[in-house]
A = this chain, B = another copy of it.
Amino acid sequence: MDATPPTREELCPFPLRQSIGFLLVRTALRLRLLGNTILQEAGEDLTVDQWGILNLLWESDGQTPVELARRADKDKPNVTRLLQILEDKGYVARQPDPKDRRSHRILLTEAGRAIKDRLLELGSTCHERACAGLSAQEVATLKDLLNRVYRNVF
């Protein structure tokens, strides 16, 4: 007779806390929270998602909402909402596209350009905090694995 009680593994052969999904989601949430906390403690009235849109514009000013949505991996309503917030805060302005009257160019204002260096610095702070103790090679490996999983689930 086998009177051994079942182990946790036998009771649940797919344990939540060892699953990629759990580890991925909880880390992403904490990292987003850290980013928002860093922004808040620096006195910036911005979320990480708003920061992301500005980041794309610092790299290339004058993109359309559709381009921004594609590069930020967000849907159109989300980008519309974020741009509305950024416009209200005075960091971006909409300019009608003379060639295609459906379309708009999103342009940084002077204020939007002025905060660039400060906010990039906060981004680096967040990155260094998150990747502390990881070698450059390990960071590259993590990025590669995340990209491969992303392509699998896209």
Contacts and interface: CB of A to CB of B under 8 A. Distances in A.
Interface of A: 8, 11-35, 48, 52, 55-56, 58-60, 71-73, 120, 123-124, 126-127, 129-134, 138-139, 141-143, 145-150, 152-154
A20 B139 contact: yes
8 contacts: A12-B120, A21-B48, A21-B127, A23-B143, A24-B28, A28-B29, A31-B153, A131-B149
B146 A15 contact: no
B23 A32 contact: no
A72 B16 contact: yes
A148 B130 CA distance: 9
A21 B31 contact: yes
Number of copies: 2
B153 A129 contact: yes
Identify whether the interface residues of A are mostly helix, strand, loop, or mixed.
helix
Contacts of A55: 12, 14-16
B146 A134 contact: no
Contacts of A60: 8, 11
